[in-house]
Amino acid sequence: MKLQSFADYTFVDGGVCAAAGFKANGVCCGLRHQELSSVTEQAQAANEPDDKPKKNDLAMIVSDCDCAAAAVYTSNQFKGAPILVTKKHLADGRARAVIVNSVNANTCNADGVEKAEAMCRLAADALHIPAEDVVVASTGVIGQVLPIEPIAAAVPALAEGLSYEGNEEAVHAIMTTDTREKEVAVSFRIGKTTCTLGGMLKGSGMIHPNMATTLTFLTTDCAISPAMLQQALSDVVRVTLNRVSVDGDQSTNDMVCVMANGMAENKEISDESKDYAVFRGALYTVMLNLARMCAADGEGATKLIECVVSEAASEETAEKLAKSVICSSLFKAAMFGADANWGRIACAMGYADCDFDISKVDVDLASAKGRISVAKDGFGVPFSEEDAKTILLEDEIQVLISLKAGAASAVAWGCDLTYDYVKINGDYRS
């Protein structure tokens, strides 16, 4: 999909390794084999050909020096053990490394915190840094005990293989039902200094607004204080990842973490200055595109849906309406069938928890194939079903809603609801 660009930011390669001083790596430690639930599944795995590609399931990101660090976490009450440990480690606003596994979420386990802390110690020992400087994260099946032995066996090779070009190995390791890599990086100027910010994301299912919706790791060589880094991250999450929904299910392990090592050597950003605005714009550019990638790669999805609500009385109203539309299962199913049933949009707007004048609502549908009006002043208008279908058969769809009540606007992203979503989640554990 095409990246959304902004004038002051230049896209560069490298993901979490794009910024100076960051290495990464990913390896297969064999967690999938450990998680197979039946003797038959284990036997099948044992008989797989030796040359069959084995997916990475353990990743590491490391800075050459100490970093300011910030994070935002899921608001789900069943928080994964890695989140509890990471929150403790980031209490001082500093970090140096990330270790993350897929396959097993390490959530709802009696020994979960013990295992998460063990992962931090393993990484710290291999990197010769304090365990308190390690961020830990996990994603995968909830409620199954995380085997630490394969992780312990793999960490030395994981650390030894760290590379300034290791971003691809790392991003592959955090993927679960994702069908494509999700990584973005940009360069930008702070005064006369060129800085870089990059990130990687995993997320395809259990994606819903109300925090971060995913595991996302961001790195930058920009010098910025922990307090301003946290402020920027919290602000940008609200208007990017918090506006993505795939299926209405909010994960237990959601986390967005950013590390800033200052190796670009700009003057440290410590207040809401012009430099802070530039940095926040870079963070927004990266996270906006990661959010769009997340929505487009929803489990079973064939289309990215972007809902834009404009001319609202407040941003809060616009946001609630946009989210309500992209979360509607009926609307999402209609988009899968390229059916311009705008009544499902009206329905989703109508049960949103906000006030607006339905007699002023206009609705258009748009894509690369054109734009068509389907409602004006709260009522349907005649339109060509054939033209509408042509527009809705594209893989990126826009729902454009005008409330004609003010100057505020908001955008939310989602995807269509397909047969494959049920197939994927019907046998997720296997």
Q: Which positions are catalytic?
A: 213
| Strands 58-73 and 22-27, bridge-based pairing | antiparallel
Residue whose token pair is 């931090």: 120
Question: Do 305 and 417 touch, CB atoms closer than 8 A?
Answer: no
- Reduce the DSSP state of residue 87 to 3 states and report it: helix
Dihedral of CA 339/343/346/350: which sign? negative
The three-class DSSP label of residue 401 is: strand
For the chain, what's the residue count? 430
Backbone angles phi, psi at 221, to 5 degrees: -95, 5
Strand partners, 99: 60, 136
Judge contact between 287 and 237, C-beta under 8 A. yes
Start-end of H helices in 17-139: 31-35, 39-46, 81-89, 112-127
Helix axis angle for 343-350 and 329-336, nearest 10°, is 160
- Give the ranges where 90-148 is alpha helix by DSSP (H): 112-127
CB-count exposure of residue 199 (10 Å: 0-12, 13-18, 19+): buried
